[in-house]
Amino acid sequence: MALMASASHADPLQRPARNSALASQRLVSALAAIGPQQLIAVGQRGHVLLSSDAGTSWTQSVVPLSSDLSAVQFVDAQHGYAVGHDGVVLGSTDGGQHWTKLLDGKTANALAMAQLQQSPDSPERERLLSEAQRNVESGPDKPFLDLHFTSLQEGFVVGAYNLIFQTRDGGKSWQSWYDRSDNSDKLFNLYGIRAHKGQLFVVGEAGLVMRLDTARQRFVRIATGYSGSFFGLLDTGDALIAYGMRGNAVVSRDAGNKWEPLASGLQASITASAKGADGSLWLADQMGHVSVSRDGGQRFAPVKLALNMPLAAIQVTPTTLVLAGARGVRSVPLPKE
C-alpha cells in the first residue's frame, strides 16, 4: 500500500504558499516598484510581499503555489507578472495581492516538445528534440530566472538551459523560442532580459549577450569583449549596462552595437541594479556592497551602508534604498552622496 507524501514533500506546484510572519526576513530574490512608495518582493517558497510605505513594512500576498520565485515586474499599478522555479509564471490583476498560475514547467516542456516536432527537419531540430525529450522526462525542474513585458499582453520569460517563452495574450497562451536563439547550440543559462531603445536584449553565461532581431524573429548573439557570465542588465535611458562576475560590467551607448568596459566600483559578482527617479544608477553585489552613479553611468562610487548582508535585489524610492537577499529585505534612508 503506497504511503501518502508528507506535507513537507508535497509538490510545490500544488501547495499554496504559507503565510509567515518571518517571510520578510527570509530569502528575497527580487524587488520591483509598483508606485513611488509601493514595492513588491518575491522569494523562497512562493512568498510575495507588498509594501505601501517604501519598504518599512510588508504584508504577504495570496499565491497558489510554493515554488521559489526569481523575478517580478509590474506593467502598471494593477497588472504584474512573476517567474520562478519549476518553470512557474504567475500573474496578478489586483496590484499583487492575489496571483494565479499562468505556466509551469510541465506545460512548458510539453509546448517546447510539440513545437519542435512540427518544425522542419534539420540537425539543430534533431539535437533540440533530444534535449526537449530529456526535459519532459526529468519534469518541471528548470527555473525561469527573469522576465520582461513590453505591454499588458506581450512579454518574454527566460531561464535555465536556454528556456525562452513568449506570450502575446497576457499569459493565456505561450510559444517556445527554444530554437530561435544563437544559444540553441550551447544551451547556456539566461539570467536577464531587458528592453533598451525599443530593442530587447538577453544576457547569460559565458559572456552571452543576445539582441532580438525582429525581422528574423530570433535572438542573435552580439560580442562585448567579455567572456564571463552576465547576471543582469540596467537600462539607463541613454545607455545599456550588462553586469556580472567579479564586479565586471560593460556599457553600450549605441543600442548594443559597440561595448566598452565599465568601472562598477564593485569587486564581487554584481547581482542587482536599479535606477532612481532622479536619474541615479545603482549596482549591488553578492557581498552586500553598493555603488552609485549620478552622472548617467560615467563613474560609479561606493556607497557607505551600515548593513552587512548578501544582496540579490535593490530598489530606490524618493526616500529610501531598499535592499534584499538571503536575510530578507531591509529599508535604509536614501544616501544623498
Q: Using one digit for the tens of pLDDT, what is the confidence trace for 253-282?
A: 999 999 999 999 999 999 999 999 999 999
Answer whether residue 199 is part of any domain: no
Answer whether residue 336 is part of any domain: yes
Answer whether residue 275 is part of any domain: yes
Number of H helices and number of E strands within the chain?
2, 27
| Count of domains forming the chain | 2
Answer whether residue 222 is part of any domain: no
Domain-ending residue, one of 125, 157, 178: 178
Co-location of 73 and 166 in the same domain: yes
Query: Mind listing the pLDDT tens digit for each residue in 192-245?
Result: 999 999 999 999 999 999 999 999 999 999 999 999 999 999 999 999 999 999
Co-location of 167 and 288 in the same domain: no
* Domain extent at residue 79: 24-104+140-178
Q: Residue 60, Cβ neighbours under 10 Å: how many?
A: 18
Closest by CA to 17, choosing from 69, 62, 71, is 62
Answer whether residue 174 is part of any domain: yes
CA distance 83 to 140: 13
- Ramachandran region, residue 42 (left: φ > 0; alpha: ψ -120 to 50; beta: rest): beta
CA distance 200 to 74: 17
| Sheet arrangement for strand 260-261 | 230-235, 240-244, 249-252, 260-261
Co-location of 32 and 174 in the same domain: yes
- The three-state secondary structure class of 273 is strand
Domain-ending residue, one of 126, 160, 178: 178
Whole-structure pTM value: 0.95
